[in-house]
Amino acid sequence: MSNYLAIAQATEALRGLLARSVQSDVPYAVQVEARKPPGEPVTEPTITVFCYRITPNASRRNADTPTRDGAGRLRRTPTAAYDLHYLISCYGNETQLVPQALLGSVARTLHEQPALSTQDLETAAGQTFLAGADLAASPQAVRLTPSTMDLEDLSKLWSTLIQTPYTPSIAFEASLLLLESRQTPAAGRPVREHRVRVVAGRRPVVEELRSRPAGTDAEPRPGPVPVGHEVVLTGHDLNGEKVVVDVGGEPVDPSAVDDGRVVFTPPAGLTAGMHPVRVRHAVTLGDAVRTLDSNGIALARQATVTASRVTAGRLHATLDIAVGDRQRVSVLLDELDGPGSHRFDAAYPLPGPRDPRSVEVATSGVPAGGYLLRVRIDGVDTRVGEDLRTPAVVF
């Protein structure tokens, strides 16, 4: 991990590496500078090292997320991963092909040493303007790889360098730099006691939810669960030390448990509509209790219309279970002896005061006749008879 000087230190280390290597290759003095290509071509042998672009490292850009908890408190030090893109340009006497000779030396050097060594980085940190740079201590080496640039990319790059003539150049990528945040997370609280317990088995898995009339041996059926039915969950690894079924946030003790099945009765106050269900294993660790939850599965609680009437353009329906004020309620009417159907949505939230087991919906434009009545509560329709003619309401 490195501080804000890491980019400048990497550039200076690359410049120093090229300066030492090129000087041993050519018989004349070469100036190696960390700057963009000059607007006026220089005649003296010169190499410029220009960091023209910085991009997030694709493989490490999200490696440190999340760094904060739900309350916004810092849990780990944020670290940004970047790649540096360099344009290395060479200048000198064109008739003696000095730029091309320098370019060959640069290419060979960076192929022989495709990474910035610790010595190169420490030497760069010795510059007064880089005092405090700590890239040399990073556990991640900065590797150098040639960049493939076609004619179009090369043209775009040089066109951004206004009034700068083209010269023989080579592009390299330095990867990767890890920039560490100045913020540090608070230390965790001290550990008073080490507790380790190995629990046999695996996390419970629920595969299917069915229901049947309570207290019977009838074959459980899939679908919504009406009043008077018990729920049968099937799966594997469902048995444990202490098994509780979580139904919409309310714990329920099952009536029967084995490794592949859990049977329970929904709580009496469970409203109509959809509710998440999980099998929860309680694991005792000394004085503490930890839980191991299964995957969630949806329980569709189904109401039944016990009475209905139409009065002054309003339909009143009484149900056998409660409906919450903030549940979406619709009334569906299907002609008993015809193809017509109607839908009316109740106000949201349901206006009060009211009986929790009743709903009231304004109706209009319904022709006289008998209709099959369904009340849809959060997407779950009330029960209807096998003949699809009950419960009925007459307009």
What pLDDT does residue 4 have? 87
CA distance 30 to 12: 16
Q: What is the CATH number of the domain that holds 277?
A: 2.60.40
Split at pLDDT 50, 70, 90, the class of 292 is confident
- What mean pLDDT is predicted for residues 102-125? 93
Same domain? 99 vs 224: no
Same domain? 77 vs 136: yes
In the chain, what percentage of residues exceed pLDDT 70?
95
Using one digit for the tens of pLDDT, what is the confidence trace for 168-221? 899 999 998 888 877 777 666 777 776 666 666 578 999 999 999 998 989 999
Name the domain boundary from 280, 301, 322.
301
Same domain? 175 vs 210: no
Using one digit for the tens of pLDDT, what is the confidence trace for 321-336? 999 998 999 999 999 9
- What mean pLDDT is predicted for residues 128-156? 88
> What is the number of domains present in the chain?
3
Same domain? 87 vs 224: no
Name the domain boundary from 164, 180, 196.
180
Split at pLDDT 50, 70, 90, the class of 160 is confident
Same domain? 37 vs 150: yes
Same domain? 344 vs 277: no
Same domain? 21 vs 89: yes
What pLDDT does residue 201 have? 56
Q: Is there a domain that residue 356 lies in?
A: yes
What pLDDT does residue 330 have? 93
Same domain? 150 vs 89: yes
Q: Is there a domain that residue 188 lies in?
A: no
- What mean pLDDT is predicted for residues 245-249? 93
Instruction: Quote the distance between the C-alpha of residue 313 and its chain's center.
Output: 49
138 pLDDT above the threshold of 60: yes
Please name the residues in contact with 6: beta carbons below 8 A apart, sequence gap of 6 or more.
Answer: 133, 134, 135, 138, 177, 178, 179
Name the domain boundary from 180, 197, 230.
180
CA distance 230 to 252: 12
What pLDDT does residue 182 have? 74
What pLDDT does residue 393 have? 93
What pLDDT does residue 316 have? 94
Split at pLDDT 50, 70, 90, the class of 338 is confident
Q: Is there a domain that residue 124 lies in?
A: yes
Split at pLDDT 50, 70, 90, the class of 116 is very high
Range of the domain at 310: 303-394
Same domain? 334 vs 386: yes
Using one digit for the tens of pLDDT, what is the confidence trace for 31-71? 999 999 998 888 899 999 999 999 999 888 777 667 777 77
Q: Is there a domain that residue 199 lies in?
A: no
Q: Is there a domain that residue 193 lies in?
A: no
Q: Is there a domain that residue 378 lies in?
A: yes
Please name the residues in contact with 123: beta carbons below 8 A apart, sequence gap of 6 or more.
Answer: 13, 16
Same domain? 268 vs 335: no
DSSP state of 126: T
**Two tokens, residue 229:** 């039915």
Q: Is there a domain that residue 233 lies in?
A: yes
* Its pTM surpasses 0.75: no
What pLDDT does residue 181 have? 78
Query: Which residues, in sequence order, are bridge partners of residue 247?
Result: 250, 277
- What mean pLDDT is predicted for residues 217-231? 94
Same domain? 283 vs 359: no
Q: Is there a domain that residue 123 lies in?
A: yes
Same domain? 293 vs 320: no
Quick check: 278 and 206 in contact, CB under 8 A? yes
Please name the residues in contact with 148: beta carbons below 8 A apart, sequence gap of 6 or more.
Answer: none
Q: Is 209 exposed, middle or buried (0-12, 13-18, 19+ CB in 10 A)?
A: buried
